[in-house]
Chains A and B, each alone.
Chain A
Amino acid sequence: MCLAVPGEILSIDESNPVIRNARVNFGGVVKEVSLAMTPEATVGQYVLIHAGLALGVIDEEEANQIIEDFNTIAELNQAEGAQP
């Protein structure tokens, strides 16, 4: 029940606040979706889209943190004598 895809907000149409339509880019394909549940979302941010609705804004810092964490894991693995 959880197929949600991150996409970049290209433009927002504020004329219909109940739906708050926006054009969102998924790797080159643009679809119109609703940002009604993410009133804080702005152009340029990445949102998680499910069934035509954005469920939340991607926290880019957290995403980057995970990538950095891998250096720690690699170190742990090496410390235990494992192959990285």
Chain B
Amino acid sequence: MTNDSELSFTCPIPHAAGANITMAHGGGGSVMNRLIEQIFRSAFDNEFLNQRHDAARLPLDAKYLAFTTDSYVVQPLIFPGGDIGSLAVHGTVNDLAMAGARPRYLSAGFILEEGLETDLLERIVASMGRAATAAGVKIVTGDTKVIDRRGNDGLFINTAGVGIIEHDLVIAPQSVQPGDALLVNGDLGRHGIAIMAVREGLEFETTIESDSASVAGAVLALLDAGIEIHCLRDLTRGGLVSTANEIAEAAGRTIHFTESAIPVRDDVRGACELLGFDPLYVANEGRFAAFINPAHAERALAILRQHAQDTEPACIGYVTDEAIPRVTLESAIGATRILDMLSGEQLPRIC
């Protein structure tokens, strides 16, 4: 921290770390330490991180832990309704919530590309700190690497998360039963469309923002109320249909939706119509599907409504008694079709 010989790399103002990330910021020396101090520690400040150890020493009082990891490479780094930092917190927190765990601690690994604007990094890290606080988790350990300039996105984040499991339910596809009600906690398709709205060549004016948010509060509320949850899965890439197919495959059951019950906002639908997208396949970042005992559906919906921010949870389908792994849909006109996985991402089409 006091080795001033490396000051020659940096211009002291306006940012002590310099306007851009350089290789020195990954060098392990005082330049890197200054970066970590000013940008990371100040945003993530907590008693575990402040121990400044190679590993965080954490008290845990649970028989079972949930543990997950995810890496985030989204482009653009900042999008309507969020950024790669808040996404990295919400995504990992939500994965823990899908196990029915109370999220507690996250790690955060950063790969920075030489040339990344320091102001941008600071903005994203600050956003991450806020997201963590709002989600009730602490970022207790981390890592920073700098790679040489290669004209890429500039920033990649990995977060791993630990949560404690305070219930006895086996929340997994194997617990899914015929007759289970399928609930979602809000309208679909916002994240994918928000990203699309800012991608070059596909721009349109819109106030659609990503739905990136923590769903842990909603899930824990369901558990606290004694809702018999059989399975949870968040709806990310590939949308509702991909998730449903994964569960159907793992559970060996048919999942049936009613199209008219699936909530999609008008403007999201408008954007989908324009691009030729199906909202059921569009990515979400703050939505999950819950397979529950149908007798608890009404109560569960009421709880989800309490935790819903300007959206409407809904019961959109059920698990049939057929032991065929597939997803079916009753379309708007009353015909039934099969909803298959797409082999790749949806692209704007004219046909």
A interface residues, Cβ below 8 angstroms from B:
1-3, 5, 7, 23, 25-32, 49-51
Contact = CB atoms under 8 A, between A and B. Distances in A.
Contact of B273 (A1, A5, A51): A5
A29 B351 contact: no
B150 interface: no
Nearest to A30: B205
Interface stretch (B112-120, B175-183, B263-271, B331-339): B263-271
A51 B205 contact: no
Interface in B260-295: 265-267, 269-271, 273-274, 276
B350 A29 contact: no
A1 B187 CA distance: 30
Contacts of B63: none
Nearest to B207: A28
Contacts of A49: 274
Given A30-B206, A31-B204, A1 B351 contact: yes
A29 B276 contact: no
Contacts of B351: 1-3
B271 A50 contact: no
Contacts of B269: 27
B53 interface: no
B275 to A, nearest CB: 9
Contacts of B126: none
B349 A27 contact: no
A28 B205 contact: no
A29 B208 contact: yes
Contact of B271 (A1, A23, A29, A51): A29
Given A27-B267, A28-B207, A31-B204, 5 more contacts: A23-B205, A28-B270, A30-B205, A50-B350, A51-B350
B267 A3 contact: no
B83 to A, nearest CB: 22
B201 to A, nearest CB: 11
6 contacts: A27-B273, A28-B267, A28-B270, A29-B206, A30-B204, A31-B274
A2 B349 CA distance: 10
Nearest to A1: B351
B271 A26 contact: yes
A66 to B, nearest CB: 16
